[in-house]
Structure 1
């Protein structure tokens, strides 16, 4: 698990280097450690190396890990996977961020189920920027209507957009997302976050305004999908 600390240090070094190349303040970019399928021991190892923001894809796994690590109150939990209506309560009660809002019904359930004692749940709208039939997300034309509806819900805070481009579509997709982000901010100035870029394409995403990059393999190594 010492290797996790080394990989994390390398990831932050590379991030700082790339930010310097494109004249971006590294402090304005959040590195999310994607810990899906990884045991809590690996999360603790990353935490001890200074990491605080972690991302999960599955509601039950997120809830279980958040409960197991409740004595680490400064961990920020990001839910980045597709969410079904019967699992919204798990996310509403344990996450600090959700990156994958694509339906008003899901947002309404999250708003209703978010405990009043907790801070607002930070919300990103997921854009299916490559128009893939197999991928979740809304199209660009649906962005502002959904943003308007979500922004009016209690216990939710609209913070920006998320996208996962198709392989080979990175530059075109990232450029389009940057424009959509600017369009959204004209109506909702607080919605400045742009979650895009993973272990293999984050440097390119950064050049197009990504404020959150999601690294899993680069930090924790290959995933064991038998755990899913």
Structure 2
């Protein structure tokens, strides 16, 4: 487990990186939100993140997340589900999360819409795009996003906010930016196609490529290892 002092120092360093990337890209300071990705991490470690003013928490595994939500009940947390979604898990995701970034097919969007409790605010969703066409990754193909977005936008109880992507891993900044630029271009197409949707979110960029993502318009970066250390 990573101690609170280390987490505090790590978050300070990440915020400095975000600020520098915003400045380098000519973007307004504070335009990029930091999400802490806490899979395999304890509720105590999440509590340390909250102390640093990071309230957006991303979880990949449903049961693990539900356990942490119970432990942290009463805390002011915006819970994001960012992992692969099985059809039999959509009800609990719809009931227990504020955001879902990993909607990768129309069927999942429909189930989330049907199962979102009506006494809660609409569920914020992003469509996950397999921008690098990797067989090992989930996500819509680009053509499928454009084809299905209208049907998803029409569903009740959800609010279509933007796109999420995990491009093929590379250390080449130019290649990183090219992938993220493709996601930004797709979002621009969707804004023209469906201007009634907010389309205010690009969830992209992790510990190794967040500067490239910010340069290409990321509004949320998902950071795990650079906050908590190597995965346990």
TM-score where L is the length of structure 2: 0.93
The number of residues matched between the two structures is: 223
Deviating runs (4+, > 3 A) in structure 1? none
Could you tell me which residue of structure 2 aligns to residue 171 of structure 1? 177
Q: Note the residue ranges of structure 1 that are not aligned, 5 or more in a row.
A: none
**Residue from 184, 194, 202 that aligns with 2:190:** 184
Matches within 5 A, 1:32-47: 32-47=35-50
Does structure 2 retain, via aligned residues, the 8 Å contact 1:62–1:94?
no
CA distance in 1, matches of 2:189, 2:200: 11
Indicate the residue corresponding to 1:216 in structure 2.
Answer: 224
Could you tell me whether the CA contact under 8 Å between 2:177 and 2:215 is conserved in 1? no
Where do residues 7-18 of structure 1 align in structure 2 (5 Å cutoff)? 7-18=10-21
Instruction: For residues 109-145 of structure 1, give each alpha carbon's deviation from its aligned partner in whole angstroms, at most 9, with x where no partner exists.
Output: 1111111111111010011000001110111111122
**1:71-220 maps to which residues of 2 (within 5 A)?**
71-72=74-75, 74-168=76-170, 169-189=175-195, 190-220=198-228
Could you tell me how far apart the structure 2 residues matched to 1:183 and 1:13 are? 32
Normalised TM-score (structure 1):
0.94
Corresponding position of 1:68: 71
Deviation at 1:75, TM superposition (A): 0.8
* Contact kept? 2:94, 2:116, Cα under 8 Å: yes
**Is the 2:104–2:127 contact (alpha carbons within 8 Å) kept by the matching residues of 1?**
yes
Q: Secondary structure at the residue paired with 2:177?
A: helix
Cα deviation, residue 187, structure 1: 2.7
3-state SS, counterpart of residue 30 of structure 2: helix
Q: Secondary structure at the match of 1:160?
A: strand
Asked if the contact 2:131–2:165 (Cα under 8 Å) also holds between the matched residues in 1, the reply is yes
Q: Where does 1:15-30 land on structure 2 (aligned, <5 Å)?
A: 15-30=18-33
User: Which moves more between the two structures, 188-197 or 205-214?
Assistant: 188-197
**Do the aligned residues in 2 keep the contact of 1:129 with 1:139 (CA within 8 Å)?**
yes
